[in-house]
Structure 1
């Protein structure tokens, strides 16, 4: 690859060409809370409703799709699990994984398309729409889920239709693009890693609180009112973002949906992301992007199977699973702050090396889960992967530090486009593998996840090598 072109820079645009840099920190907002609040509320809602809606879908699949007796299927609605119907459990799970695959694909089509356009679009029209629109879609979807949960005669396939507003407004793929671009605009290179880690931490806190509270709220108020609480949280999140958040891009021009689907936006994104750069700069960007996207590939593939695997392999009920999920997320939360706030300040460990460690520790956790037979095995895996939550924010932080500011949103757009495509294939691959191995080796999905994490670590190792090679001083031969 040609090495004599423009150099990856760690200087801001203001140092190189002040006229280009129209992105600046908002007055008085340098350390203020901004996008963390809606992200916390969104994840809180997801965690509160996750296992509850899973139980509803298991029950309605059992009754409406497989035509079993309601009394026989009632076991799926309770927070406690009975191990007396193992054969029925496997039959229902296989059907539910198919429904989940279709729903996730429907959820992902919109974000996959929009993510190709919105990153570059936001350089002109601002970051706030990329935050407000997905939150509106989540609020509408959660309201539809409430209505669905009240209509007991409707089968599990009707639930798939609730994904339409979420998909059309971009979902979490576009939301994360908007929030990370927003943080890039309002932070400096000195505090960017910390702010992005705080954002990931707020997502983790929402997940922990929701995971712990879900089983207790389910017992206290029931399915419908729990889902109604989630809908209210999503409405509050949308209202907060729409009213309180200020646009971070100076000189942003208002633009609606009609200005989004412009192929010139995709062409510009591709041109900037794939143009040749010195010191294997293009390879570095693509390796970082693919490694981060593969971690999302794992997330979308495994997220719908964690609970099913725990029920099948360890005979957990919803209560045991939510406690473990909360504990695992709490460990990751403290690991992230320990890594960025303490370890990086004491030891000379950069963003890239910490991301490699995060991927390797995640691989170890997945291998432990693969062969887990006791409850403490799962908690051991969570403890080993203390720093697993650092890979995504540190990769994004590194990208913002090595790219000119005008290219950051375009690379984030490519990254989120790949993340948006992942759910179109990941659930199908994971669910198919799980269905084929559920009776003999249900941990095969975790074995696959661990292997992918190792591949990601190798990719980042190549980036580390390229950056080390570029940083080596060039020595001249000795003259006699």
Structure 2
């Protein structure tokens, strides 16, 4: 076992009572539903942003339909920049509330569901959010057809996905499931493949989005998007087997048990040798800060390119697809070649990924032309590796009985992040939109630099780690510990 994989548990006294699925290293499990879910999301998000901008323009700011219809088009004309700024400034408050509503219930549920899944299984953590997304997708289709509804009515469509756990619970369940069904030696690769399936869905969706808008229109595109989520849900229900044998079926009452929260905090914050508790918390927070940035930029990336570079939907989706594709191939190249043959540890490679992300954000902040944006993408080809490598490292150094609890803590932190980051990022963007809209990327660079410091501290502790060997006592041993 390498130093990077040395466990930070005080002993082997805890036995793993959760049975795993028989070894099939490359059996497709979570890759398919996550691919379809992210394909759906990437098709939907630009359309929703455009609809929010359009209905803000018409219903909240009382401009004419003729003036506002440009927001629904994949192309952009030389419309008044003052109108663009006015609409974007108001729409940021809608998107801020949107992200908050999407995050409240998942943040609360995350405190319960990690420990709950150790008894009741991982599959509910996957099927429940997908069902919520399916219902929300149907409501969004209805909303898009009712043109008299203003932008604030869109918030109501988000309640089902929020109450079902959203992406926070979905990804917690997916990573716990992947940890259950993979061996240690294959885990980094399988985590990367899982992330790659997410990236592939985003790439294909971004490429198809402007073409489908022109071909079928916004309403039918939203209907197609929702159909993809329904397919992901049906596939999971029928094909994906529960990873824990002997899992007991549990309902809502079994979820909302405060003892689950106490157990999670007790095991995540207990003292461990070699400053293990500090290492776990620093890794969890660093990973959660990447989600903090993701939610902060989710709605602003598109608006920034409209404001700074005067892009329309077509230019943005092409850039988004190229960005995701480069990250996709960079992740595979990194794990399968760089890490394998150069023997770079998960932790060291995660630090490299964060450093590339800092360069990426700095270039975007000062971009003045299109090629600057593509340069930032090329420099950040390993940026997407930080999260799967951190999660992979945690599964290698934690006792197996604690993995789901730590992932649940990470999910809770990730669930809380969207409650804060949209307010921070939208407020900053609103305050600097006329002066320096790239300020949001300076903030991203600063947050990512904090992640580098955290991982550097973890690396320092791991260098200082003293290997401890435990010997199993046999019945004939006459001494006791």
TM-score class normalised by the smaller sequence: over 0.9
- 1:239-283 CA distance string (max 9 Å, x none): 111111111012111101111011110100001111111111111
Contact 1:208–1:326 (Cα < 8 Å) also in 2? yes
Quick one: distance in 2 between partners of 1:453 and 1:8?
22
Quick one: distance in 2 between partners of 1:46 and 1:304?
13
Match of 1:53 among 43, 48, 51: 48
Contact 2:359–2:380 (Cα < 8 Å) also in 1? yes
- 1:445-471 CA distance string (max 9 Å, x none): 000001111110110000000000114
TM-fit CA distance, 1:84: 2.7
Is residue 375 of structure 1 aligned with residue 389 of structure 2? no
Is residue 309 of structure 1 aligned with residue 294 of structure 2? no
Contact 1:8–1:281 (Cα < 8 Å) also in 2? no
Quick one: distance in 1 between partners of 2:104 and 2:8?
35
Contact 1:24–1:186 (Cα < 8 Å) also in 2? no
Match of 1:223 among 208, 218, 224: 218
- 1:408-431 CA distance string (max 9 Å, x none): 000001000000000001000000
1:476 — aligned with what? none
Is residue 159 of structure 1 aligned with residue 160 of structure 2? no
TM-fit CA distance, 1:202: 0.2
1:105 — aligned with what? 100
Give 3-state SS (helix, strand or coil) of 2:25's partner: coil
Quick one: distance in 2 between partners of 1:30 and 1:250?
18
What are the residue-to-residue correspondences of 1:137-148 with 2, within 5 Å?
137-148=132-143
Give 3-state SS (helix, strand or coil) of 1:279's partner: helix
Quick one: distance in 2 between partners of 1:418 and 1:102?
19
Match of 1:132 among 127, 131, 135: 127
Is residue 187 of structure 1 aligned with residue 182 of structure 2? yes
Quick one: distance in 1 between partners of 2:372 and 2:101?
35
Question: What is the number of equivalent residue pairs in this alignment?
Answer: 465
2:400 — aligned with what? 405
Is residue 396 of structure 1 aligned with residue 403 of structure 2? no
Which stretch shows the higher mean deviation, 53-62 or 426-435? 53-62
Quick one: distance in 2 between partners of 1:188 and 1:12?
19
Gaps of 5+ in 1: 1-6, 474-480
- 1:370-397 CA distance string (max 9 Å, x none): 0000000000000000100100000000
Quick one: distance in 2 between partners of 1:137 and 1:173?
12
Contact 2:5–2:393 (Cα < 8 Å) also in 1? no
Quick one: distance in 1 between partners of 2:70 and 2:396?
52
2:191 — aligned with what? 196
2:282 — aligned with what? 287
Contact 2:8–2:274 (Cα < 8 Å) also in 1? no
Is residue 361 of structure 1 aligned with residue 356 of structure 2? yes
- 1:168-190 CA distance string (max 9 Å, x none): 00000000000000001001110
1:478 — aligned with what? none
Quick one: distance in 2 between partners of 1:289 and 1:11?
16
Distance change >3 Å, CA 423–CA 191, structure 1 → 2: same
1:250 — aligned with what? 245
- 1:341-369 CA distance string (max 9 Å, x none): 00011112100000001111001100000
Match of 1:211 among 202, 206, 213: 206
Which stretch shows the higher mean deviation, 75-84 or 282-291? 75-84
TM-fit CA distance, 1:23: 2.8
What are the residue-to-residue correspondences of 1:38-77 with 2, within 5 Å?
38-77=33-72
2:420 — aligned with what? 425
Give 3-state SS (helix, strand or coil) of 1:280's partner: helix
Match of 1:461 among 431, 456, 463: 456
Gaps of 5+ in 2: 469-481
2:444 — aligned with what? 449
Quick one: distance in 2 between partners of 1:339 and 1:22?
34
Is residue 32 of structure 1 aligned with residue 44 of structure 2? no
Give 3-state SS (helix, strand or coil) of 1:221's partner: helix
Quick one: distance in 2 between partners of 1:116 and 1:169?
14
Is residue 330 of structure 1 aligned with residue 325 of structure 2? yes
Quick one: distance in 2 between partners of 1:138 and 1:326?
23
Contact 1:8–1:277 (Cα < 8 Å) also in 2? no
TM-fit CA distance, 1:93: 0.2
What are the residue-to-residue correspondences of 1:162-173 with 2, within 5 Å?
162-173=157-168
Is residue 89 of structure 1 aligned with residue 84 of structure 2? yes
Match of 1:386 among 356, 376, 381: 381
Which stretch shows the higher mean deviation, 203-212 or 344-353? 344-353
Distance change >3 Å, CA 126–CA 379, structure 1 → 2: same
Give 3-state SS (helix, strand or coil) of 2:128's partner: helix
1:477 — aligned with what? none
TM-fit CA distance, 1:128: 0.2
